[in-house]
Structure 1
């Protein structure tokens, strides 16, 4: 059993993560933090009734002490007109500066899972500015892989009983790289026609814009909640498990000084290994371009990295 703290817990992402985690039996203490204390109190009172055997409470930054995992979902509110996650960068770095200081003060050894956007740059910001170990930091990107699976199932009309593994690497954003070469159905390689690939890509490329065009001021809370609860489960156990997440590269795939979505091995000690998969030439080219995009954004916004 572990202690999980969520910073930004009153918002859509934070509240849905809290709900999905609370439904699992591997967490018995949930510390919820948010600047909107009234809304958070409303959530906490509801959670207390829904999960009377668990310890769920509104905390302050001091209550981060003894956290096994800290999930950051705090950030500027979602704006419908925005079609790129990088639009939130400057405002969210200012928020992350305070959060990083508080985690360093009260829970410097905790594993930190960042779900705020732009994930890759914010994860790198925590590494660059606060001295956390690479193993402690994971940028949450599983939504891309879940969405890839949804698109595959939709286009190919795959039965729900079939197990699909559908990894997406690269930026958690427009330059993400769906790896058709590594898609598995029931542990066997799934082969696509050119037409199928094109239709699946079209679904993926249009999804974000279509979602925002609904003009509803919320983000993908339930998808994130489901994926975050999976990650938390892996991070509370000794067993080594393969997943996808944004991590700091140290020469893997030929890159360093960047955080990007790659296959990683994790357990209760955090990120243990970065797996270097063989990629098809087109996938490798797209991945390289995605890394360069993140590195360029980091360089262009270096002034924001200064505390």
Structure 2
């Protein structure tokens, strides 16, 4: 890939992604776009010092031309009084209307990675309203899996690398897939009490984070996850991870975007993997599907 662009690069998410992408040789150009030009220039001057050998610059929508990958982190500022990502939907739809139209105009073939919230609904909006192909659109949800792994380690009093996938909505109805959790390719079994504690850690995290009343969101975690996706997009071989993607009958669902296991390579989402879920996980995933479908149906003029 020769060029990566970040829309919303002055914010916490965008600037963190710019940093983690710059740490690797993923692109010859890194184009940064944001309506807050002074704030963006502040980050840009810092990045230019840190990476004098890289072509990093402030751009406009027209500079999206030639982008292989576009990362969208733009959105309304974090409002700490909100306890649900859905509260940002209509405000961010207005922003995405402009962003999507400009991507369609200047870089219609680019892979689009969306990290703005509510990501499932915004990813689906780009599909329904802007004419992008399903494989082009990757909704970023890896923070849920990272948080699941953190909660597992906290509960088990360990500090180990675990495979801890989360599927479903990037929100209240997310589904930690306990049946797929592994450490060193070996299944981890959990007691009912341990599962309950892990669920509680995950369920209350977003509220506790916002209660700190700090005007920033999860920049470092997102930067790490976006770097993982960019790495997968730089490879011919596929990498398995979870992401929000548009379903067309997989898992018995369609006309939504939702987090599922996918294979990502240089062409975007290569395929969707359909896991055999245990009964309680399938029930929870179906509930997550119905929640997103209900929101879509409640906004017929939007979707």
Identify the residue that residue 250 of structure 1 maps to in structure 2: 248
Q: How far, CA to CA, are the matches of 1:168 and 1:43 in structure 2? A: 32
1:97 aligns with 2:97: yes
Higher deviation after alignment, 22-31 or 283-292: 22-31
1:206 aligns with 2:204: yes
Identify the residue that residue 147 of structure 2 maps to in structure 1: 147
Task: Report the alpha carbon displacement of residue 147 of structure 1 after superposing the two structures with TM.
Answer: 0.2
Q: How far, CA to CA, are the matches of 1:214 and 1:252 in structure 2? A: 39
Identify the residue that residue 271 of structure 1 maps to in structure 2: 269
Identify the residue that residue 220 of structure 1 maps to in structure 2: 218
Identify the residue that residue 290 of structure 1 maps to in structure 2: 288
- Give the secondary-structure state (helix, strand or coil) at the position aligned to 1:231: helix
CA deviation vs aligned residue, 1:85-138 (integer Å, no higher than 9, x gap): 000000100000000110000000000000000000000000000110000001
Task: Report the alpha carbon displacement of residue 20 of structure 1 after superposing the two structures with TM.
Answer: 1.1
CA deviation vs aligned residue, 1:144-193 (integer Å, no higher than 9, x gap): 00000000011112233xx3100000000000000000000111111001
Q: How does 1:112-127 map to 2 (within 5 A)?
A: 112-127=112-127
Identify the residue that residue 80 of structure 2 maps to in structure 1: 80
Q: How does 1:1-16 map to 2 (within 5 A)?
A: 1-16=1-16
Identify the residue that residue 61 of structure 2 maps to in structure 1: 61
Instruction: Show structure 1 runs of 4+ deviating over 6 A.
Output: none
TM-score, length-normalised on structure 1? Answer: 0.97
- Give the secondary-structure state (helix, strand or coil) at the position aligned to 2:30: strand
Q: How does 1:170-189 map to 2 (within 5 A)?
A: 170-189=168-187
Higher deviation after alignment, 166-175 or 149-158: 149-158
Asked whether the 8 Å contact 1:243–1:263 carries over to 2, the reply is: yes
1:128 aligns with 2:132: no
Paired residues in the alignment total 303
Task: Report the alpha carbon displacement of residue 236 of structure 1 after superposing the two structures with TM.
Answer: 1.6
Identify the residue that residue 40 of structure 2 maps to in structure 1: 40
**Which runs of no fewer than 5 residues in structure 2 stay unpaired?**
none
**Which runs of no fewer than 5 residues in structure 1 stay unpaired?**
none
Asked whether the 8 Å contact 1:140–1:228 carries over to 2, the reply is: yes
Measured on the aligned residues, the alpha-carbon RMSD in Å equals 0.8
Q: How far, CA to CA, are the matches of 2:241 and 2:6 in structure 1? A: 21
Asked whether the 8 Å contact 1:80–1:217 carries over to 2, the reply is: yes
